[in-house]
Amino acid sequence: MQDTIKLYTEPLEPEELSFLERKVTKDRSNYYKVFQIEMVLCFIIPFAGAWYRVADGMPNAFSPLKFFSAAGALLMLSLVTTYIAYRTYPRKTQLDIQEKTKTIEKIHIVKKVHIATRDTYHFYIDSKIKLSIEVSHEDYLLLNVGDEVSIEYTTHSREYLGYF
């Protein structure tokens, strides 16, 4: 076994680049949908709170100042959290698309596992990026514990692309 990790980068293949572009489009659409739901909730929650205050018999339960203050605070919270989440995850995939590179890592097989219930074959590996990979039946029979295999993943988002 080896202690040092062998890494190098290569250009993304056209189908890998296309996969990443579809992923970014889908992620952007999902973030937009979630933000729309959050915006609706930013107005429903203060309205429900006003009805709760009415049920408690509080005077001036439908105060516009309270309503818009609560809605504004919730809206700011959802804006900040959505922005942070977007900058953390999809942005890394966009960087991969801009740089058009993937990382190749040479790793070793630590353990072989056959999952009979799903009839799938897996190698546990010594990578810091991925714990295990699903492999074909032929590769499962051909390769043994300790053998070297290369895995490829996107450089920034660490999206697994395959092995060879």
| Per-residue pLDDT at 7 exceeds 80 | no
* Domain boundaries 100-163, corresponding CATH code: 2.40.50
**Cβ neighbours of residue 68 under 8 Å, at least 6 residues apart?**
46
* Mean pLDDT rounded to a whole number for the chain: 83
What is the average pLDDT across 6-25?
A: 84
Please check the confidence at residue 4 and state whether its pLDDT lies above 60.
Answer: no
Cα 16–chain centre separation = 17
Share of the chain above pLDDT 70, in %: 96
Instruction: Report the number of secondary-structure helices (H) and strands (E) in the chain.
Output: 4, 6
Confidence of residue 5 (pLDDT cuts 50, 70, 90): low
CA angle 69, 70, 72 (to 5 degrees): 65
What confidence score (pLDDT) does residue 128 get?
A: 83
- In angstroms, rounded to a whole number, what is the distance separating the alpha carbons of residues 107 and 143? 13
In the predicted structure, residue 1 carries a pLDDT above the cut 50: no
Widest Cα–Cα separation across the chain: 77
Domain definitions of the chain by residue range: 13-97, 100-163
> Residue 128 gets which letter from DSSP?
S
Average pLDDT for 155-163? 83
pTM: 0.64
pLDDT per residue as tens digits for the range 48-85: 877 777 777 777 767 778 888 888 898 899 889 888 88
129-138 own/partner pairs: CB under 8 Å, 24+ apart: 129/105, 129/153, 129/158, 129/160, 130/160, 133/160, 133/163, 135/163
| 25-29, 50-54, 80-84, 104-108: least confident range | 50-54
Q: Which of 67-76, 87-96, 101-110 has the lowest mean pLDDT?
A: 87-96
1 touches 108 (CB < 8 A): yes
What's CA 71's distance to the chain center, in Å? 29
